[in-house]
Structures are given as C-alpha cells and as structure tokens.
Structure 1
Amino acid sequence: MPLSFPPIRPVVVNGATKWQATCRTCGQDVCSRPQVVKAAVDEMRRAHGPEKHCTRGETR
C-alpha cells in the first residue's frame, strides 16, 4: 500500500496543461476537476493526507 501523498500528474484539457491528483488507495480524485495552479493541487493532496490512512474507499 502506498505511504506517500497522492501523486500529482499533468492533464491536458483543451490544449492547456492542468494538474490533478488521484489517490492510489481508493482510486478517487483528490480534487473534483483539474486545476491550473499546481500548488493548489499540492495543498489538496496534503489535506487528503497520506494514502496509507485513506478511508474514502471504505464502506461502513
């Protein structure tokens, strides 16, 4: 199981590069849509927390 924060990856939208982060534990996007500013995605992935502690994919 991954121990780090979700990785940031470039996504091309209408010819422009934007940024997205996807949790490898639950498979969900950390931000709802790609962001223009990479720092915004970095802040969202840190708010998500380490993938090791992800509980988004769990059903209760």
Structure 2
Amino acid sequence: MTRQEIATKIPLDLPEFMTLTNWHHPDLAADEKPSDTETFQQLADVIVTGNKTFIIQKK
C-alpha cells in the first residue's frame, strides 16, 4: 500500500513505527493459530517492547 492508501485508514500525522514488506501469515483454515507462528510472536514482542530488533528478517 502507498502512504496515501494507508492514510484512508490511519491518519498521515501518526508517526510510522515500522514497515513490513512480507511475512508469513498463519493458515487459519488449517487451524494454524497466529500465536503459534514466529511472525506473530516477533510482532507481539515489538509491540510490547517498542524494540524493532525483535523482527528477524529472513531472506
């Protein structure tokens, strides 16, 4: 999404904390819980601590 597209949902004056370009989303149809996935565990750590280094970029 562009910043303008995001602005339709979130005010532009709200500071951007982090941008993720890709991630693994759990397969909810296969009963995979977000809390059991590395992506959501890392994201939760970032939100709680404010420390972006908890997100490990895999190539």
- TM category (shorter chain) comes to under 0.3
Structure with greater strand percent: 1
Structure with greater helix percent: 2
Q: Which has the larger radius of gyration?
A: 2
